[in-house]
Amino acid sequence: MPNPHLKNILVVDDSKYVRTIIKNAITRCNEIDANLFMAESYEQTQELIAKHHFHIAVLDVTLPDAPNGEVIDLLISHDVPVVVLTGGINKASKNVILEKDIVEYITKSNPQSISYIVAVVKRVLKNYDAYILLVDDSKSMRMTTRLHLERLHVNVLEASSAEEAIEILQESEKYIPLVLTDHEMPGMSGMELTLQLRQTYSKDRLSIIAISGSENSKVATDFIRHGANDFIKKPFTNEELAVRINVNLELIDLFRQSKETASKDFLTGLFNRRFFFESGIPILDKAKRKKVPVAVAMLDIDFFKRINDTFGHDVGDIAIKEVKTILEKYLRGSDLIARFGGEEFCILMENISVQDLQNKFESIRKAFENNTITHDLISFSYTVSIGICYGSSTSLESMINFSDKALYEAKGTGRNKLVIHTHN
């Protein structure tokens, strides 16, 4: 059964050999986690489309029951991004295909075709979760550019001025990796916006692509000097915009993956202490601007040394990994969770009432209390103590200190307890 939480990929080819090669290549890619569906004919494709929503399709042009590329139109009519794979057709037929709203055209004779298919599929699937901030004072230009961007299946946010763009970046709950800005705008120009954004966001965190119709060649170099990652001169083609956007998103992804690897705890995959501080301070700053409450929770496994001494360190590691499983089950996706070291974990939450906070962490405490872990022939259970600092944000370090004191109180009064200290 397909996983309803994953995106769906459709591969259409009358050759079982080709379908298998593509399937194996996509499956081997660690960055693609999706449901794979196979079809060998137009009829099978129709049946699958009737049952499932597809996020991308890789397909052969010529099928036994649809020899003239009819399957392309079928999928496009259902708003499915299409990657065309063909064994080779004449120039006239190729031009007809290229005029259609397809993502890419790939020939089977190309030795790199399979790896290129995987790269395109990976990029399109990632684009569904990517947000681009489009900045232009012209409503008609924003509308036109938005249509181009939506063909890449990215999510588009709009700002009619540089000032509005800065506000969106500061206040948005969404991760925005790329800004596409016009140059000449009333008030703050695109170049001034770029310079100001670079004071807050590094090039490996936020990619800025500038657009200008100026005939002055110095504009492009000035934009790059001011911190832009890329520059596009008007008028531009759909293909040029697509290539620039995808390349910049890919680079940001690579930077992000590299940073995440260095920021993750090797045992649990949760963030480490250093990343918690790097990310937590901006979260507190935003909460302060929005005047919403925050909470810092410290969670510690009770009598963890006893688990290690009784069952060994391998079982102790299993106990630590179980903390991640339970926390991720009960906490929100926006909550910042980190392993601080040993058996100690820290959680940062914003915009939550004290009652909801108490209910949530009481549920977490009970989940540990009622949980039994079985490993080989060993069964064991353990409890946790939780200390929380709740209220207006002061500094992250002081909130951690207050939550530590609450944790110490929970430990000192019998363990397997939740203690909340409120601070205004």
Model confidence pLDDT, tens digit, residues 109-147: 777 889 999 999 999 999 999 999 999 999 999 999 999
Is pLDDT above 70 for 49? yes
What separation, in Å, do the N-terminal and C-terminal C-alpha atoms of the chain show?
50
Tens digit of each residue's pLDDT (9 = 90 or more) over 372-403? 999 888 899 999 999 999 998 678 999 999 99
Environment class of residue 370 by beta-carbon count within 10 Å: exposed (0-12), middle (13-18) or buried (19+)? exposed
Task: Please count the CA atoms within 13 angstroms of the CA of 38 that sit on its side-chain side.
Answer: 14
Residue the block writes with tokens 């120009």:
189
Considering only CA atoms, which of 361, 343, 342, 363 is closest in space to residue 352?
A: 361
User: How many C-beta atoms surround the C-beta of residue 321 within 10 A?
Assistant: 14
Q: Residue range 46-75: average pLDDT? A: 93
What is residue 92's predicted lDDT score, i.e. its pLDDT? 63
What would the pLDDT profile of 328-375 be if each residue is shown by its tens digit? Answer: 999 998 899 999 989 999 999 999 999 999 999 999 999 999 999 998
Mean pLDDT value of segment 248-271: 91
Q: Please say if the pLDDT value at position 238 is more than 80.
A: yes
**What confidence tier does 97 reach under pLDDT thresholds 50, 70, 90?**
confident
Answer yes or no: is pLDDT of 96 > 90. Answer: no
Question: Span 217-221, mean pLDDT?
Answer: 91
Nearest CA to 340 out of 278, 407, 271 is that of: 271
- Is there a contact between 320 and 269 (Cβ–Cβ < 8 Å)? no
Q: What percent of the chain has pLDDT over 70?
A: 97
The residue with greater pLDDT, 388 or 423, is: 388
Above 90 in pLDDT, residue 214? no
Q: 381, 379, 391, 380: which is closest to 421 by C-alpha?
A: 391
Check pLDDT > 90 for residue 90. no
Q: What's 271's DSSP letter? A: B
pLDDT at 9: 97
User: How far is residue 158 from each of residues 87, 165, 202, 289, measured CA to CA in Å?
Assistant: 41, 8, 21, 22
What pLDDT does residue 93 have?
66
pLDDT of residue 89: 63
Structure tokens at 358: 């108490």
Rounded to two decimals, the pTM is 0.71
What is the mean predicted confidence (pLDDT) over 221-244?
92
Angle value at C-alpha 90, between 89 and 94, nearest 5 degrees: 75
Which domains, from first to last, does the chain contain?
7-123 (3.40.50.2300), 129-260 (3.40.50.2300), 273-423 (3.30.70.270)
Residue 161's identity, in one-letter code, is: S
Residue 41, both tokens? 């004919």
Report helix, strand or coil for 37: strand
| Over residues 194-218, mean pLDDT | 93
Mean pLDDT of the chain: 92
> Would you say 38 and 19 are in contact if contact means Cβ atoms under 8 Å apart?
yes
Q: Which residue has the tokens 């670079």?
A: 198
The reported pLDDT for the residue numbered 329 is 94
Residue that the structure tokens 């170049």 belong to: 191
Position of tokens 């009519």?
77
pLDDT tens-digit series, residues 139-197: 999 999 999 999 899 999 999 999 999 999 988 878 999 999 999 999 999 999 999 99
Select, from the ranges 7-11, 90-94, 277-281, the one with the highest average predicted confidence (pLDDT): 7-11
Strands (E), 66-196: 82-86, 104-107, 131-135, 155-159, 178-182
